[in-house]
Amino acid sequence: MGTDLEVELTRRSASAVVLAGFTANECIDATARDANAAGLDVFVVGDATASFDLRGPDGRLLAAERVHALTLANLNAFVAEVVQTEEVVRTVGR
């Protein structure tokens, strides 16, 4: 939001984005959904993302690993293909 990224991707005729970084359940999730809505193929590098512990609405602590795993599962089910770093490196190296 608030950047010229979509304009730049369109200018370059991009058809896909590869996402990595912090945090999977916030920035990566939002960017993946926006990219998908813009008609781009979305790849999330699962082992190059992470999440923090979160408190659920009931006050229970949800471990970062669980938050991360559930976020990746949700993204993979609906808006992106979750891949691993090795897969991306192998593909780029072709």
pLDDT tens column, 27-55: 999 999 999 999 999 999 999 999 999 99
Q: Is 46 in a helix, a strand, or coil?
A: strand
pTM of structure: 0.91
Q: What is the dihedral of CA 51, 55, 57, 58, to 10 degrees?
A: 140
pLDDT of residue 6: 85
Q: Does domain 5-92 have CATH number 3.40.50.850?
A: yes
Q: What is the 3-state secondary structure (H, E, C) of the chain?
A: CCCCHHHHHHHCCCCEEEEEEECHHHHHHHHHHHHHHCCCEEEEEEEEEECCCEECCCCCEECHHHHHHHHHHHHHHHCCEEECHHHHHHHHCC
In this model, does residue 93 exceed pLDDT 90? no
Looking at residue 27, its pLDDT comes to 94
Phi/psi for 21 (5° steps) reads: 130, -165
Query: Which sequence spans correspond to the domains of the chain?
Result: 5-92
pLDDT at site 91? 86
pLDDT tens digit string along 47-86? 999 999 999 999 999 999 999 999 999 999 999 999 999 9
